[in-house]
Amino acid sequence: MSKVKANEDEMASNVCRIGEELEESREEKAQIKEKLEFMGEAKEALEAEMKTLGVQTEQWRKAADVAAAVSRQVFVGGGLFDQSEVVGFMDDDDTEDELGSGNRKRKSSWMKMFGDLWKKKGHK
């Protein structure tokens, strides 16, 4: 009988231990589930941020392309605006003999004015 009693006590302690392990496993499962939900929300937030950054990057790329095109048109004479209306702009018809220091100075001031405008737009 004492052997049977010892077996029953051992089985009871095993059941108790297994019950405790089961409870610990349930707690770990709940913690892991919370972490998984948090990570899912964080992932969604990061994906939204990446989408926003992708759109902004595309907008900046397009703006840079436009700025490059504008600068090529202005400096090469592509006709972005009527260049004869710009104060101090030198006509292509001017020859080197007709160029005085005044015309060079006006062209220099036009370039400076354009550079200042370019800087102001860049800081906005």
Answer whether 83's CB lies under 8 Å from 107's CB: no
Q: How many domains does the chain contain in total?
A: 2
| Mean pLDDT for all residues in the chain | 76
Instruction: State percent of the chain over pLDDT 90.
Output: 44
Q: Clarify whether residues 37 and 71 are in a common domain.
A: yes
Q: Clarify whether residues 14 and 70 are in a common domain.
A: yes
Q: Clarify whether residues 40 and 96 are in a common domain.
A: no
Of 62, 78, 94, the domain-final residue: 78
Q: Which pTM was predicted?
A: 0.41
Q: Clarify whether residues 90 and 49 are in a common domain.
A: no
Q: Clarify whether residues 85 and 68 are in a common domain.
A: no
pLDDT value at residue 103: 52
Q: Clarify whether residues 3 and 34 are in a common domain.
A: yes
Please give, one letter per residue, the 3-state secondary structure of 59-86: HHHHHHHHHHHHHHHHHHCCCCCCHHHC
Q: Clarify whether residues 55 and 116 are in a common domain.
A: no
Q: What is the mean pLDDT of residues 9-34?
A: 95
**CA-CA distance, 33 to 94, in Å (whole number)?**
79
Q: Domain residues for 95? A: 81-124
Q: Clarify whether residues 20 and 44 are in a common domain.
A: yes
Query: Dihedral angle at the C-alpha atoms of 24, 25, 30, 36, nearest 10 degrees?
Result: 130
